[in-house]
């Protein structure tokens, strides 16, 4: 049975699965303040571009609901302050600011405070509901690229946990399996925070999809031995010239090119940012302790210098096709209306 349940929803606050506790524990948390939301985003309790889009939208609704102001402008002002805090919590994934701005823009239409609140929550719900529908469309378009018996390599977690449901890269795989194809997935562990081992392998096993966990640097041997038919990853932002995704994605893309293996990027149109080039995008750098330690276990000498970028940029000429809700795009790679 393939899971269609939602990973983020509204119920007197933002409800979501705490992804830092998987796979050991499945815990649903309730976020009731902007401070808690920013903490949940920076600590990766909520993560993955489309899930961040929904969280950003719900965050603005939360700011509206919690505002004590009786006047429209007071509520909107508090929402704008919250918007800045939320957007600054993770700079690379464009969906976060996209979700925040979309709800903020819609709420401007409200003429009185209560109407602002009502519109904000309605728009946030719309983003979440649309995400599920869009991911299903991505899945249906992308599944046509996979053949019965294929082995697919994926990196990080671009599954239902990273979205409101279904997933982008994993949504393509889910759909292919639902279509009756036998698909085998190699999930890269995704150092340093192990989204591949903790989340992707858990999620696929829950759905009885055949998955083998490999360390990130095993992709070369797998490709050289002819064990990979295609690579499918998600994206945090797609500029005119590059795909930003979890650190390590670029390495798989270069290897795929060298071995003549298709490298696919599955993402909604909301992840495309055609107004920028690679050079203009800030890549989030995270705390060095993510490499120095694993929980309480020391992995490196205390104080060793660490460079810990959370994402890398893959030049788009390494991408074989973009899989979006509007279809699969090869030449040109950018969907119509994006540029
Ligand atoms: C559909 S999710 C696409 C990306 O957001 C995903 O591949 C990724 O890189 C997530 O990084 P993370 O740091 O775990 O938020």
Whether 236 sits among the annotated catalytic residues: the reply is: yes
The CATH 3.40.50.10470 portion of the chain extends over 145-329
Q: Identify the residue whose tokens are 């998600």.
A: 234
Q: Which atom of ligand 1 is nearest to the CA of 271?
A: 3
Q: What is the rounded CA–CA span in Å between residue 337 and residue 274?
A: 10
Please report, in tens digits, the pLDDT of each residue of the chain (339 residues total): 677 789 999 999 999 999 999 999 999 999 999 999 999 999 999 999 999 999 999 999 999 999 999 999 999 999 999 999 999 999 999 999 999 999 999 999 999 999 999 999 999 999 999 999 999 999 999 999 999 999 999 999 999 999 999 999 999 999 999 999 999 999 999 999 999 999 999 999 999 999 999 999 999 999 999 999 999 999 999 999 999 999 999 999 999 999 999 999 999 999 999 999 999 999 999 999 999 999 899 999 999 999 999 999 999 999 999 999 999 999 899 999 888
The verdict on the CB of residue 168 being under 6 Å from ligand 1 is: yes
CATH superfamily of 145-329: Translation initiation factor eif-2b; domain 2 (3.40.50.10470)
H or E element, residue 311? strand 311-315
Q: How far is the CA of 261 from the centre of ligand 1 (A)?
A: 22
Confirm whether the ipTM is greater than 0.90. Answer: yes
Q: Which of 5, 58, 9, 63 is nearest to 34 (CA)?
A: 63
Q: H or E segment at 201? A: helix 201-206
Residues 139 and 170: their CA atoms lie apart, in Å, by 8
Q: Residues 130, 98: contact at Cβ < 8 Å?
A: no
* DSSP-derived secondary structure for 137-167: HHHHHHHTT--TT-EEEE-S--BGGGSSSSB
- Give me the helix-helix angle, 72-89 and 94-107, nearest 10°: 180
Name the nearest CA neighbour of 60 among 111, 16, 21, 98. Answer: 98
**Catalytic residue (one of 131, 216, 236, 273):** 236
Residues 237, 303 contacting (CB under 8 angstroms) = no
- Residue 1: the pLDDT is 63
Q: Using alpha carbons, select from 160, 106, 94, 93 the residue that is nearest to residue 131.
A: 160
Going from the Cα of 244 to the center of ligand 1, the distance in angstroms, rounded, reads: 9
pLDDT score for 72? 97
Residue intervals in the chain for CATH 1.20.120.420: 8-136
- Is 15 part of any known ligand binding site? no
Residue 280 structure tokens: 């203009």
Kindly give the distance from the C-alpha atom of residue 116 to the centroid of ligand 1, in angstroms, as a whole number. 31
Q: How far apart are CA 234 and CA 154, in angstroms?
A: 9
Q: Domain spanning 8-136 has what CATH number?
A: 1.20.120.420
CA distance 36 to 285: 21
């Amino acid at each position: 049975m393939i899971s269609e349940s939602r990973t983020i929803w509204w119920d007197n606050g933002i409800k979501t699965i705490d992804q830092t506790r998987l796979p050991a524990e499945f815990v649903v948390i309730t976020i009731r303040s902007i401070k808690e939301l920013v903490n949940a985003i920076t600590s990766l309790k909520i993560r993955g571009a489309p899930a961040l889009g929904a969280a950003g939208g719900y965050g603005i609704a939360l700011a509206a609901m919690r505002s004590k102001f009786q006047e429209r402008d007071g509520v909107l002002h508090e929402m704008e302050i919250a918007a800045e805090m939320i957007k600054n919590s993770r700079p690379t994934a464009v969906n976060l600011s996209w979700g925040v701005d979309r709800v903020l823009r819609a709420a401007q239409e409200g003429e009185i405070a209560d109407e602002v609140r009502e519109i904000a929550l309605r728009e946030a719900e719309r983003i979440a509901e649309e995400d599920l529908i869009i991911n299903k469309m991505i899945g249906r378009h992308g599944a046509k690229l996979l053949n019965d018996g294929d082995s697919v390599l994926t990196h990080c977690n671009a599954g239902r946990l990273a979205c409101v449901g279904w997933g982008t890269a994993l949504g393509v795989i889910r759909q292919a399996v639902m279509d009756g194809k036998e698909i085998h997935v190699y999930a890269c562990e995704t150092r340093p925070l192990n989204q591949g081992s903790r989340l992707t392998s858990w999620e696929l096993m829950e759905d009885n999809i055949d998955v083998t966990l490999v360390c990130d640097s095993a992709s070369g041997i797998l490709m050289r031995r002819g064990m990979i038919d295609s690579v499918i990853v998600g994206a945090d932002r797609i500029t005119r010239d590059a795909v930003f995704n979890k650190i390590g994605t670029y390495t798989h893309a270069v290897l795929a090119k060298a071995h003549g293996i298709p490298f696919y990027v599955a993402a909604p149109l909301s992840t495309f940012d055609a107004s920028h080039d690679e050079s203009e995008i800030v890549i989030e750098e995270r705390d060095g302790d993510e490499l120095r330690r694993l929980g309480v276990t020391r992995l490196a000498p205390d104080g060793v210098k660490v460079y810990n970028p959370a994402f890398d940029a893959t030049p788009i000429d390494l991408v074989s096709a973009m899989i979006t809700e509007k279809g699969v795009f090869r030449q040109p790679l950018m969907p119509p209306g994006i540029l």
